[in-house]
Amino acid sequence: MLHRASHQPFIPRLNLEGKQERVTERGAVAQTSEDNKKPSSKRGVVDLGTCLTQTLDGALLMEVEIQPGSTQQGVTGFNEWRSRVVIAVKAQAKQGQANRALVHVIAQQLRVKTSEVSVVAGHRSRKKSVRIEDTDLETLRSRLSDVLGA
């Protein structure tokens, strides 16, 4: 097999973990695409305890990762590496439109009032902290598990 950029042949071999690597004649190692797969919430049980925390005044903080400008809205998954719930919104990230859409999506999907949901951190970032009031931790965890299908 030839490498496209350098036209050097690859030599397949197994590394110490038993995964296949490709090595050029000069000794450079290129990992196979199977090694680069991201973890998915559909593979196993999702640990939601890391993205939900309770504040001292009884409110809940949920760590989310937003995807503005999506074709569909809703909770789309759980990013295990960042311990965040992934939420897609149709609104663009301009003048707070995506933040307002995020509040509406969370209120609708988790069956809470819109007035009880607010973005408290990450107003200009895709990684946000959302405050949810008047809901206990176990209720929200079960509703989120239902939405994620976990």
| φ, ψ (nearest 5 deg) of residue 132 | -125, 120
Is 107 domain-assigned?
A: yes
DSSP 91: S
What does the pLDDT profile of the chain (150 residues) look like in tens digits?
A: 555 555 555 555 555 555 555 555 555 444 444 444 444 444 445 667 788 999 999 899 999 999 999 999 999 999 888 889 999 999 999 999 999 999 999 999 999 999 999 999 999 999 999 999 998 999 999 999 888 886
Domain that includes residue 21, residue range: 6-37
Is 30 within the bounds of a domain? yes
32 and 60: one domain?
no
Q: Considering its fold, how many domains does the chain have in total?
A: 2
Compute the distance between CA of residue 81 and CA of residue 46 in angstroms, rounded to an integer.
11
Structure tokens at 110: 């988790």
Helices (H) and strands (E) in the chain, counts: 2, 9
Compute the distance between CA of residue 35 and CA of residue 22 in angstroms, rounded to an integer.
Answer: 12
